[in-house]
């Protein structure tokens, strides 16, 4: 570990405690990740197994190219990082997953997800399971060119990711009812289309996106609105005047 980082390490929670947005916390996290060869982060609530894609509370700096590929290739259905966080309470590295040390032997389609990340310059990383009160499950993932984190680096990265997660989550909770109820243009588009009776396939064709992407936006809208299903999400959005006339 970079010895110059050690005196500043325990100041990190204090530094991010003064920040007022998840993105600002992410920027601060990046500054302390770089000495470890990590350039990308994704932090938030662990996706539900029935819909293994980000929604609700999540902050990341993955490039748009990765997000588009992740949805287009249905990678959430076989993401080994999500598999690993379900089976482990301690952090596991990307290399642990490849070598079968994360509690399972990765399938070819799971390795393909890791290979796709490697092609984007992120062959190494650490996945941190996060547990909270009332059964809360979170996840923090940091990736980059590496090298693979050794035992000491894992401890430091776990500390940094956990504190970043807690600050981001607190900011998200404080903004509930304001920022979380601002639907994106695409979320409003799919809800309005469903309100008019269009199927997922028809919405996808009209918007020139995949059916998977349509469902991704539906799920994000549903979570923001705290709705139990799509019908309730539409009803709440109409009641809150989020869909226009």
Domain ranges (residues) in the chain: 3-174, 180-239
- Cβ(144)–Cβ(122) below 8 Å: yes
In angstroms, rounded to a whole number, what is the distance separating the alpha carbons of residues 149 and 44?
Answer: 21
Tokens of 162: 């956990």
In angstroms, rounded to a whole number, what is the distance separating the alpha carbons of residues 74 and 88?
Answer: 23
Q: pTM of the predicted model, to two decimals?
A: 0.74
Q: Which of 71-80, 128-137, 139-148 has the lowest mean pLDDT?
A: 128-137
Of 59, 164, 73, 60, the residue nearest 119 (C-alpha): 73
pLDDT for the residue 137: 87
- If you average pLDDT over each of 112-126, 128-142, 210-224, which comes out highest? 112-126
In angstroms, rounded to a whole number, what is the distance separating the alpha carbons of residues 150 and 2?
Answer: 13
Is the pLDDT score of 110 beyond 70?
A: yes
Is the pLDDT score of 225 beyond 60?
A: yes
Is the pLDDT score of 179 beyond 60?
A: no
In angstroms, rounded to a whole number, what is the distance separating the alpha carbons of residues 200 and 177?
Answer: 28
- Cβ(88)–Cβ(103) below 8 Å: yes
- Cβ(141)–Cβ(128) below 8 Å: yes
In angstroms, rounded to a whole number, what is the distance separating the alpha carbons of residues 21 and 47?
Answer: 22
Mean pLDDT to the nearest integer, 206-222: 91
Of 41, 32, 93, the residue nearest 62 (C-alpha): 41
pLDDT for the residue 123: 98
pLDDT for the residue 22: 94
Is the pLDDT score of 19 beyond 60?
A: yes
Share of the chain above pLDDT 70, in %: 91
- If you average pLDDT over each of 42-46, 127-131, 132-136, which comes out highest? 127-131
Mean pLDDT to the nearest integer, 104-117: 97
Is the pLDDT score of 131 beyond 50?
A: yes
pLDDT for the residue 148: 95
In angstroms, rounded to a whole number, what is the distance separating the alpha carbons of residues 62 and 29?
Answer: 14
pLDDT for the residue 134: 60
Q: At 52, is the pLDDT very low, low, confident or very high (cuts 50, 70, 90)?
A: confident
Mean pLDDT to the nearest integer, 140-151: 96
Sheet-wide strand order for 58-60: 58-60, 40-45, 137-144, 124-131, 92-93
- Cβ(233)–Cβ(222) below 8 Å: yes
In angstroms, rounded to a whole number, what is the distance separating the alpha carbons of residues 127 and 142?
Answer: 7
What value does the mean pLDDT of the chain take?
89
Q: Domain 3-174 belongs to what topology?
A: Beta-Lactamase (3.30.450)
Q: Could you tell me the end-to-end alpha-carbon distance of the chain, in angstroms, rounded to an integer?
A: 57
How is residue 245 annotated by DSSP?
-
Question: 180-239 in CATH: which number?
Answer: 1.10.10.10
Q: At 227, is the pLDDT very low, low, confident or very high (cuts 50, 70, 90)?
A: confident
Q: What contacts 77, CB < 8 A, 6 or more positions away?
A: 52
């Amino acid at each position: 570990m970079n010895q110059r980082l050690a005196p500043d390490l325990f100041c990190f929670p204090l530094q991010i405690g003064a920040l007022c947005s998840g993105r600002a916390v992410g920027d601060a996290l990046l500054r302390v990740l770089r000495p470890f060869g990590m350039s990308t982060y994704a932090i938030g609530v662990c996706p539900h197994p029935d819909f293994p894609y980000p929604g609700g509370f999540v902050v990341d700096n993955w490039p748009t190219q990765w997000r588009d590929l992740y949805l287009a290739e249905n990678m959430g259905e076989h993401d080994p990082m999500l598999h690993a966080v379900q089976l482990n309470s301690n952090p596991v590295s990307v290399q642990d997953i490849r070598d079968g040390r994360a509690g399972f032997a990765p399938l070819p389609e799971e390795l393909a997800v890791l290979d796709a990340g490697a092609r984007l310059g992120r062959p190494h990383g650490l996945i941190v399971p996060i547990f909270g009160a009332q059964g809360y499950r979170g996840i923090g993932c940091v990736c980059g060119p590496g090298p693979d984190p050794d035992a000491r680096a894992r401890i430091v990265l776990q500390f940094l990711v956990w504190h970043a997660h807690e600050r981001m989550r607190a900011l998200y909770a404080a903004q509930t009812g304001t920022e979380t109820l601002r639907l994106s243009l695409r979320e409003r588009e799919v809800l309005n289309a469903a309100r008019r009776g269009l199927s997922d396939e028809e919405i996808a064709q009209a918007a020139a996106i995949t059916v998977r992407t349509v469902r991704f936006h539906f799920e994000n809208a549903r979570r923001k609105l705290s709705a139990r299903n799509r019908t309730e999400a539409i009803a709440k959005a109409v009641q809150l005047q989020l869909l226009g006339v």
